[in-house]
Amino acid sequence: MKAPFQDSSSADISNRASTSSQPKNNRELGYITTSSNGNVARNYHFLKFPNQINTSLVRKVLAEALGTFILMFCIGGIVANMRFMGVEAGLLEYAATAGLTVTVIVFSIGSISGAHVNPAVTIAFAAVGPFPWSEVPFYVLAQVGGSVLATYTGKLVYSIKPEVMMTRPLHGCTSAFCVELISTFIILFLSTSLISEPQSLGPLSGFVAGVAISLGVLISGPVSGGSMNPARSLGPALVSWRFDHLWIYVVAPTIGAIAGVLTYRILRLQGWSCKPDPSLRTLQSSQSSLH
């Protein structure tokens, strides 16, 4: 597509020639250059939708905030809509909503930020994996901020109280702690395997991640409310300013996430040979010959 405001093909040629040496980011932002004949040649790539995005920290943080917002708003939506129909949101509805939402999030922002949308996931990948610790505070703040904003939005749109979206132990604190830890362990064990071997499932990885979330909700919902995500519980708690048993939903998922990633890394350890390096043997022989 020819850019507007150019009268001839020669201008287009001079524009391409003058911008070829410019950095890619400048060309994508419509960088104005000067052609060899002195005329101003404008690059109007900003008129096109970019097919590549520089995943800087700002974009990653915004993606995490948006992803967590979508997750929490969908959860609040299913709770409110079921109440509008005169019934409480059941376990199957909650599990299906959480799983489908995570699937959509993985496909939409997975290539930008990794689609953590969970402080426990971010901390686990930093503690055991290659994720940089310097980005952890920004990710966590974005995730909690997205959860708080979604809770406020649900309160305004659906007129539901934040307390309705809070997670509480239903069969004692010990049972809730254990089931949150184990459920998060299972999810992170699977997620780490998908990240380590993406070629095994290819484009189906997002669906598998959603199924794992649904499974976690099914096995933890009747006991703890099915959080497995500190941001999921922190948002409604901060909006309602009620922190009863909140420590369970912060500590247990974090420990379970770290254990899940660490366990997979241990199982993937490979043995190594104790044979000496041939290059070292050659170096040693050459040194001995000099003496």
Residues 6+ apart with CB under 8 A from 37: 14
User: pLDDT: is 192 or 38 the higher one?
Assistant: 192
Q: In terms of residue numbers, what domain contains 76?
A: 57-267
Q: Using the predicted structure, report yes or no on whether residue 10 has a pLDDT greater than 60.
A: no
Listed in sequence order, the residues at least 6 apart from 204 whose beta carbon sits closer than 8 Å to its beta carbon are none
- On whether both 20 and 104 belong to a single domain, the answer is no
The amino acid at residue 36 is: S
Same domain, 196 and 225: yes
Q: Specify the number of domains making up the chain.
A: 2
Same domain, 199 and 76: yes
Residues 62-82, mean pLDDT to the nearest whole number: 92
Torsion sign across C-alpha atoms 282, 283, 288, 291: positive
Greater confidence (85 vs 65) lies with 65
Does 32 lie in the same domain as 95? no
pLDDT at 198: 61
CA distance linking residue 39 with residue 59, whole number of Å: 35
pLDDT score recorded for residue 133 = 93
Can you give the pTM of this predicted structure? 0.73
CA-derived radius of gyration, the chain: 26
The verdict on 103 and 199 lying in the same domain is yes
- Would you say residue 272 lies in a domain? no
Instruction: Answer yes or no: is 76 within a domain.
Output: yes
Give the C-alpha distances (Å, rounded to integers) separating 39 from 32, 135, 282, 290. Answer: 11, 44, 63, 68
Same domain as 127, residue 31: no
Query: Are 92 and 159 part of one and the same domain?
Result: yes
**Pair (33, 88) in one structural domain:** no
The mean of the pLDDT values for the chain is 78
Q: Are 37 and 167 in a shared domain?
A: no
For the chain, how many residues are written? Answer: 291
3-state secondary structure of 38: coil
Q: What one-letter code names the amino acid at 247?
A: W
Range 82-86 contact pairs with CB under 8 angstroms and sequence separation of 24 or more: 83/160, 83/164
Q: Is the pLDDT of residue 9 over 60?
A: no
- Residue 75 belongs to a domain with what CATH number? 1.20.1080.10
Residues 68 and 19 in one domain: no
Q: From 65, 167, 163, 155, select the one nearest 119 (Cα to Cα).
A: 65
- In-domain check, residue 278: no
Query: Tell me: the pLDDT tens digits for 263-279?
Result: 999 988 755 555 555 55
How do residues 100-144 score in pLDDT, each as one tens digit?
999 999 999 988 988 899 999 999 999 987 899 999 999 999 999
Do 28 and 77 sit in the same domain of this protein? no
Tokens standing for residue 153 = 């939005």
- Residue 43 exposed, middle or buried by CB count within 10 Å (0-12, 13-18, 19+): buried
